[in-house]
Amino acid sequence: MNVGIVGGGINGLCCAWLLQQQGHAVRLYERDRLMAATSSRSSKLLHGGLRYLENLELRLVREALRERDAWLRRAPELTSPLRLVMPIYRDSRRQRWLVRAGLFLYEHLAGQSALPPSQWCAPREMLASDPQLRAEGLLGGYAFFDGQMDDRRLGLWVARQAQEAGAILGEACEVRCVDRSGRIRLADGTSRQHDRLINVCGPWAEQLLHQSGIASPYHLDLVRGSHLVVDRACPQAYLLEVPSEPRIAFVLPWQGKTLVGTTEVRQSIDDPVACADSERNYLLAVLRHYFPGQDRTAEVVETFAGVRPLLRSATDPTRATREYAIHRDSALISVFGGKWTTACALARRVAATLD
């Protein structure tokens, strides 16, 4: 089949790679550069999403954990196992037994994983590996493993695999409208016909349908997430409770510096995607809480932001599902949502809807 794909983020690229390998003739249209939008603004984690267990997203977490391990095997030069620690304090919202139960379930859902099991760390051990960590009230913490990647480089590696298999990946090719028969109209006025057309535009998937005059079967909530890059080596990766909120923040080693994220702020599709001062201050406050006595404001060397395409499911973005949905309407297949880690699984499900 002749398959058109609109969107050159990780989900579009994984679809292109898989479908070309399956013998289809794939042409991908990306309006900007490949991997220039959401897929290069992530927290760089290949993970099941320990936090999503609180929303009972068992199917998604199980799939993501297996995909995490598959990425670590598939591209060992561009990924690495990452040891994260979740400290537990006297006043932590999540008590030791709850975190332990969550990790038990997380590891059970992962199945046969090559990653080491989680373990309890005593305060002395934690402070020895990171003397900057707040010691007051520290009861200890759980160490567990997920994966880390360079999202942009890994996505461009997927693009190369797709091209080597024969897929045509077009940059600076904006699609103005699509229809149910598989026809597209490009910004330069030309049209092309495909046997199947996949709309995998991430946060813009609903907008593309809207501008094509097609009612969208799903609605997306667009929720911005920002990160800070702090010019300071990070001796230990952390999963941290945001003080007095149910949210979780990450402090991660990243290219010799420290990556701190993230936020959840509603975003309008037409507004520029950038870290606001309030988000910067929010993340700096998390750092100040856990690493007191140091003001890292002057050490912020970069900020970046991306927009999560979340299926509309809850008013509170922290509670909103991270599941994705695939909808077929004649020759047109639209994808709504989808994590970085699960992009290959999403591509397999798209492939199954093609015939």
Question: Closest Cα to residue 309, out of 51, 12, 103?
Answer: 12
Residue 151 CB, shortest distance to ligand FAD, in Å, is 7
CB closer to ligand FAD out of 7 and 141? 7
Q: What is the rounded distance in angstroms from the CA atom of residue 38 to the CA atom of residue 40?
A: 6
Q: What is the rounded distance in angstroms from the CA atom of residue 250 to the CA atom of residue 258?
A: 10
CB closer to ligand FAD out of 241 and 323? 323
Residue 348 CB, shortest distance to ligand FAD, in Å, is 15
Q: What is the rounded distance in angstroms from the CA atom of residue 104 to the CA atom of residue 301?
A: 37
Residue 141 CB, shortest distance to ligand FAD, in Å, is 21
CB closer to ligand FAD out of 126 and 162? 162
CB closer to ligand FAD out of 9 and 102? 9
Task: Tokens for 154, please give them.
Answer: 């890994």
Residue 239 CB, shortest distance to ligand FAD, in Å, is 12
CA-atom Rg of the chain in angstroms: 21
Instruction: In the chain, count H helices and then E strands.
Output: 8, 19
Task: Tokens for 230, please give them.
Answer: 């702090």
Q: Does a cis peptide bond (omega within 30 degrees of 0) precede residue 262?
A: yes
Q: Which residues, at least 6 apart from 90, have a Cβ–Cβ distance to it below 8 Å?
A: 137, 139
CB closer to ligand FAD out of 42 and 55? 42
Strands in 129-188 per DSSP E: 138-149, 168-170, 175-178, 183-186
CB closer to ligand FAD out of 85 and 248? 248
Residue 338 · residue 350 · CB < 8 Å: no
Residue 135 CB, shortest distance to ligand FAD, in Å, is 29
Amino acid code (one letter) for 336:
F
Residue 293 CB, shortest distance to ligand FAD, in Å, is 28
CB closer to ligand FAD out of 29 and 291? 29
Amino acid code (one letter) for 94:
R
List interacting residues with ligand FAD (CB under 6 A): 6-12, 29-32, 36-39, 41-45, 47, 174-175, 200-204, 208, 225, 262, 306-308, 338-341
Residue 56 CB, shortest distance to ligand FAD, in Å, is 19
